């Protein structure tokens, strides 16, 4: 259905865009205000002069650099692991018929409905028993097997013709090589979708780090932010600056994969 947008569509979208962008803009603007502008009443919409005090304070006093690095280590390695094992599983479940395949698919899909929040107390026991408590690996490995990821990849690969793989097998290509030289390149758009989601999930995650990490030197950004909020007197300046910095890596990941992302969303499993 390709209708042309009329006046009212534009009007509605511009209003919506304003609603959606205003809070973010307000955070960005507030973050570059000095303490006087920040707490002035009536609120000053634009600061008299730019001040980056909040940012320097967050990094020097708030130990924010360390939390940023922890988050980066976790988000990047968890994303790589997620991409690898979810693409492998999605491939197996879309292009092979094997004993137990329906059972495994059913397991994956049913856990789509179990948010880890529901089973956090027993997960904590498992994490501690495996020595993953207070360990960044505990933030990287367990959440890598996402049912959503497997589901997306599988739906996408179902559309790949089997002949292509059979032809490669006839030429003597091994399964592992078929995976890397045929499946992965074909699946690029949906892998881009998963890259963005996975990075977002891990970078923004709060509950999982809250369960796994208690040692402040291993805090991720979200834990650090939560800890800041919990303090008696909230330092809004640092908090706003940290919020702004925290949004930047996601923006970068999104910009890198955006083109593929749009293509991938349009073709990944939302079809009849």
Partner 1 sequence: MVVEKSKAMPMAIKKTNVETMKKAQRKKKLAPYLFVLPNLLIFLIFIIIPALMGLVYSFTSYNGVSDMKFTGLENYIRLFNNAEFWKIMLNTLIYAALVVPLVFAISLGIAMLMIKEMKARGLFRAIIFWPTMISFIIVGLSWKWIFGDSFGVITYLLEAGGLPPIKWLSDPVIAKITIVIATVWARVGFFMVIFIAGLQSIPASYYEAAQIDGANRSQLFWKITLPLLKPTSLLVFMLLIVESVKAYPLIFSLTGGGPAKETTLIVQYIFEFGFTKSEVGYASAMSVILFLLIGIFTLIQFKWAEGGKID
Residues 189-208 that bind partner 1 (CB under 8 A): 200, 203-207
The CA distance from 1 to 225, in Å, is 45
139 binds partner 1 (CB under 8 A): no
Q: State which residue, 64 or 91, has the beta carbon closest to partner 1.
A: 91
One residue of 125, 131, 216, 217 binding partner 1 per CB under 8 A:
125
Q: Which of residues 150-179 bind partner 1 (CB under 8 A)?
A: 150, 154-155, 158, 169-170, 172, 174-175, 179
One residue of 26, 35, 36, 50 binding partner 1 per CB under 8 A:
26
The CA distance from 20 to 24, in Å, is 8
133 binds partner 1 (CB under 8 A): no
The CA distance from 188 to 92, in Å, is 17
The CA distance from 161 to 180, in Å, is 16
Q: Of 202, 199, 195, 187, which is closest to residue 88 (Cα–Cα)?
A: 187
One residue of 36, 119, 167, 256 binding partner 1 per CB under 8 A:
119
Q: Of 28, 26, 32, 158, which is closest to residue 96 (Cα–Cα)?
A: 158
Is 222 in contact with 268 (CB distance < 8 Å)? no
36 binds partner 1 (CB under 8 A): no
Q: Which of residues 89-108 bind partner 1 (CB under 8 A)?
A: 89, 91-93, 96, 98, 101, 104, 107-108
Is 119 in contact with 216 (CB distance < 8 Å)? no
The CA distance from 59 to 271, in Å, is 47
The CA distance from 131 to 146, in Å, is 22
Q: Which of residues 44-83 bind partner 1 (CB under 8 A)?
A: none
**Residue 238 Cβ vs partner 1, minimum distance, rounded to whole Å:** 12
**Residue 172 Cβ vs partner 1, minimum distance, rounded to whole Å:** 4
23 binds partner 1 (CB under 8 A): yes
Q: Of 52, 68, 26, which is closest to residue 238 (Cα–Cα)?
A: 52
CA angle 122–83–78, rounded 5-degree value: 50
One residue of 46, 49, 163, 185 binding partner 1 per CB under 8 A:
185
Q: State which residue, 73 or 81, has the beta carbon closest to partner 1.
A: 81
**Residue 33 Cβ vs partner 1, minimum distance, rounded to whole Å:** 12
Residues contacting 179, CB < 8 A, separation 6+ = 88, 91
Q: State which residue, 187 or 211, has the beta carbon closest to partner 1.
A: 211
2 binds partner 1 (CB under 8 A): yes
3-state class (DSSP) for residue 186: helix
Q: Which of residues 213-242 bind partner 1 (CB under 8 A)?
A: 222, 225-226, 229, 236, 239-240
Residue span binding partner 1 (CB under 8 A) among the ranges 23-31, 47-55, 56-64, 72-80: 23-31
Size of the site for partner 1 (CB under 8 A): 102
């Amino acid at each position: 259905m390709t209708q042309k947008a009329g006046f009212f569509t534009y009007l509605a979208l511009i209003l919506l865009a304003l609603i959606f962008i205003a809070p973010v803009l307000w955070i960005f603007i507030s973050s570059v205000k000095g303490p006087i502008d920040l707490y002035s009443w009536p609120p000053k919409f634009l600061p008299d002069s730019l001040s980056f005090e909040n940012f320097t304070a967050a990094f020097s006093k708030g130990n924010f650099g360390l939390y940023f690095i922890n988050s980066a280590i976790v988000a990047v390695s968890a994303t790589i692991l997620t991409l690898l094992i979810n693409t492998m599983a999605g491939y197996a479940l879309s292009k092979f018929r094997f004993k137990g395949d329906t059972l495994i698919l059913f397991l994956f899909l049913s856990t789509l409905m179990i948010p880890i929040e529901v089973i956090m107390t027993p997960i904590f026991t498992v994490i501690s028993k495996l020595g993953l408590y207070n360990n960044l690996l505990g933030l990287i490995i367990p959440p890598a097997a996402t049912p959503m990821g497997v589901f997306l990849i599988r739906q996408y690969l179902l559309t790949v013709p089997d002949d292509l793989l059979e032809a490669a097998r006839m030429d003597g290509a091994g399964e592992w090589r078929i995976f890397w030289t045929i499946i992965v390149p074909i699946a690029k758009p949906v892998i881009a979708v998963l890259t963005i989601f996975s990075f977002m999930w891990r970078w923004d995650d709060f509950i999982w780090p809250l369960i796994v990490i208690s040692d402040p030197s291993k805090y991720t950004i979200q834990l650090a932010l939560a800890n800041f909020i919990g303090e008696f007197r909230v330092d809004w300046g640092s908090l706003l600056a940290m919020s702004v910095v925290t949004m930047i890596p996601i923006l970068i990941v999104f910009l890198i994969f955006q083109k593929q992302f749009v293509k991938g969303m349009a073709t990944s499993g939302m079809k009849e």
